[in-house]
Amino acid sequence: MLNIEYPKLEKKSFNGLELTINEPKTKINLRGKKKDFFTKAGKILSLILPTEANTSSSNEKFNALWLSPDEWLIYFDDDKNGIFLDLYNEISKLNYGAVTDISNQWVCFNLKGDKIYDLLSAGSPFNFNEFKSKKNKTTQTLLNHINVTINQKQNNEIDLFVRRSFSEHLCSWMNDSARFI
């Protein structure tokens, strides 16, 4: 079995900001357009996939982020119940869409506090003014020249996804930048 290593980040608290690594998480990329795709995915996940740009939906177990008109990122804590296999068997095998496990390709950081948007604005060209006032918003942007996907879970709490190969660099940048906010 492959040993997965995550960036070395203990729970860090700064003035009005808390950074933690939120792993391990199961992350699944879903792609599809057909009506049967939406029906099968919705039934297995017990949630409706968001169809509006830059939005997300969630329930007690799953979070679904809109990435493009036919692509979603689904993430959750564990896959003890075989959700990936259920999605694969009901969607991919029947040619309704594509299901890909991307858990080892992305790292999830959780940021909390009233200073998170100050930190993000320090390294991103994205304007967070409207974003921060609404729940269940997502965006794909750059942070310190690194592609990231951001999901606002609640006011002043986000999950930030970054490719594994850039995760340590971004983690170092967030730690360094947070000290000056």
Which pLDDT does position 1 carry in this prediction?
Answer: 43
| 98-145 pLDDT tens trace | 999 999 999 999 999 999 999 999 999 999 988 888 888 999 999 999
N residues, the chain: 181
Predicted local distance difference test score (pLDDT) of residue 55: 95
Mean pLDDT (whole number) for 22-38: 93
pLDDT of residue 15: 80
> Using alpha carbons only, how large is the chain's radius of gyration in Å?
17
Mean predicted lDDT score pLDDT of the chain: 90
Which are the contacts of 5, defined by CB distance < 8 A and separation ≥ 6? none
> How many CA atoms are closer than 13 Å to the CA of 167, on its beta-carbon side?
23
**Cα–Cα distances in angstroms (integers) from residue 148 to residues 83, 97, 109, in the given order:** 25, 24, 11
Is the pLDDT at 53 greater than 60? The verdict is yes
- Please report which confidence band the pLDDT of residue 11 belongs to, taking 50, 70 and 90 as the band edges: low
Q: Give the Cα separation of 97 and 36 in Å (integer).
A: 9
Identify the pLDDT of residue 155.
87
- Can you tell me the distance from the alpha carbon of 69 to that of 26, in angstroms, rounded to the nearest whole number? 22
Provide the pLDDT for residue 48: 95
Residue 101 has a pLDDT of 93
> What pLDDT shows up at residue 143?
97
The pLDDT of residue 8 is 64
In order of start, what are the domains of the chain with their CATH numbers? 12-23+105-178 (3.30.1360.120), 26-101 (3.30.70.1520)
Structure tokens that stand for 51 in this block? 């169809």
List, for residues 65-90, the tens digit of each pLDDT value: 999 999 999 999 877 678 999 999 99
Contacts of 21 (CB under 8 A, 6+ apart): 6, 7, 9, 107, 108, 109, 110, 171
Contacts of 51 (CB under 8 A, 6+ apart): 66, 69
23 pLDDT higher than 80: yes
The pLDDT > 70 percentage for the chain reads 93
| pLDDT reading at 22 higher than 70 | yes
List alpha helices for 12-150, DSSP H.
35-45, 83-87, 116-123
Of the candidates 22, 25, 20, 24, which has an alpha carbon nearest to the alpha carbon of residue 10?
Answer: 20
